[in-house]
Structure 1
């Protein structure tokens, strides 16, 4: 059994290949001292001068970034992604996945989203067309920042409660 005192501080993991809100994540994390891990493929080479931000570069093969994100994900972490499959895996790990628009993926909505993705793929394979995502607006960016700061604060408070022993151990 792992002791409560060895539990790591929740971190923010980012599927960074196409993440349009990395700047918001880094600023919000810096304001709260939350560690950030940016994961991107070699074709989306990312550099960051912030020493509190870890950058992981993976091969340019399908799902490599997703697998690196999930392999570094612990319960209580925040995972920023627009990928429903990665969001589903993050939920299974006990993490909180959130989109760059501030939409929080939950066990109540992920099955419907995965089903819709499957239907859309079938339509496109059959020669049909489906709508893509709308352009990210300033309102979307503000919504994301609001949600992210709330989640970071909530996770930090949960971690502090565990470290102080306010939650009795299960079993």
Structure 2
């Protein structure tokens, strides 16, 4: 099992939680982004810089992900694609995406996109809170415990 991270928009605090979990549980963790970033030296943490372009990192994650892998992303279409491949998707706020809830999330995303395209001002997501970080850490730990070899 591998943890894949859509690292372009992943908050630093969430990456720190992932780095600690990777070393603690000896879980391969692969970050993909189209810009350079630093990761701590670890045999379990790997960074791949992909070429610039829309959804290049997302497409690479979809290409590489396997059933039962965990993908960290806030990108709803990416979450849908990895779920379709049998993987699990978890948002940086600790929301677990599943076959049961991804359709509704896609519909809501599309609704807001339509509103913004028609000129309606919508607020962006709230800042990542301590409760969000704790929720993420709890979901991550739960998943890693359930999928240990």
The TM-score, its normalising length taken from structure 2, stands at: 0.94
Of the three residues 15, 20, 30, the one matched with 2:23 is 30
- State yes or no: 1:131 paired with 2:123: yes
- State yes or no: 1:13 paired with 2:4: yes
2:64 maps to what in 1?
A: 72
Of the three residues 32, 55, 63, the one matched with 1:63 is 55
1:31-88 CA-to-partner distances (Å, cap 9, x unmatched) read 111000000013xx11222232111111110000101111120001000000000000
**Offset, 1:131:** 2.5
Of the three residues 96, 101, 115, the one matched with 2:93 is 101
For residues 26 and 87 of structure 2, what CA distance do their matches in structure 1 show?
Answer: 19
Query: Of the two, which has the highest radius of gyration?
Result: 1
3-state SS, counterpart of residue 46 of structure 1? coil
3-state SS, counterpart of residue 115 of structure 1? helix
* Residues matched between the structures, number: 146
Structure 1, unmatched stretches of 5+, are: 1-9, 161-171
The TM-score, its normalising length taken from structure 1, stands at: 0.82
Contact 2:22-2:45 at 8 Å conserved across structures: no
